[in-house]
Structure 1
């Protein structure tokens, strides 16, 4: 299962190019030609580069070193990065700080993204209390639920809001990213409401396919599906 921030980054990347870059049709076309699987690896590279810089104090690295650490071929890393330009130098490899800056720009992490979380159950509770998102560009700023017993409850530094106020809050705060952690039977309704008020990037934990209009990017995170995929390889 992909980490929360990695999955959201994919949807944010595609949404950002499809909307903010609509004035440059060539740039939008190029962005859309880049395979989603490539976009999905960029946050992994960013995470490892950050670890190299902050935890190990390294200045330079190479596609070979990154590949060994991540279990990805050096050729694949070079090919992925080549979609966005030339970042390395022969003999010295990649300057880590520079490549981090470039990846953050590519992934639109030069700003902090406010995130609306819908669903204050066990999963929503865990997401609200996880502080690992902040230094990766995301802040869960609002939590919504329809359970009277949960509305008004404090989760970390946030207060659970009534889902009836969802449209008003999202519109007022111009939120573009949302996470859905609700039961399957209401997930489509919540999705429709989010899209109506301008949400353009959605990560859904609901175990159901959701329909969204063109221009809205949606990703799914279903741990059961991932486990079922892995059992195929068990003998």
Structure 2
């Protein structure tokens, strides 16, 4: 009897543990280790100053404005009092944690340019320390739910700030690449979050593609990250909308 009771208790504890584990890791806010926290804290410091009027929020593609895209950033965005809140490797759950822990506290920009989700797609199957080393999985629907959670949190923190939500950029060599397909599926979902009052959606993915859908390495050498030419194209594709939304 004692053995049965012990087994039953063990099963109950296991069930409780499973019940407490979020089914969708994309909406489970988590920090990361290493230099990530230093970058996060630097954004908190920028936020406390309360000066930035335009903020780019995202992952390594956004972070690249400070390296490969630095020249065009200085020319196009710096005059608009812009700040770069991009961190390489970030997924939706990392941005959620950042927003809950100081990013934008004290800051009220006119516009946030948000692009996130390609790492939710690209990190499939990898063990993630921040999630207890479980194999990562995030479907298009789950990633979209993560993006929605970010938009909702931004709305609560900054109800008067507009958000230009960008479709996730293409990745992979052709339109048949599995990660390209998942990003497209995610974009089809997040496009519906635009209300054209606070949240505006723009997909500029075709800007980088050849007519047959091939992603040229002359723009994205690793078929994911932009080079300097790519950042020029990005800026040209959104400059008009950014100007309009910041009026």
TM-score of Structure 1 vs Structure 2, range by shorter chain: 0.3 to 0.5
What's the TM-score once normalised by structure 1's chain length? 0.35
- Give the structure with the higher percent strand: 1
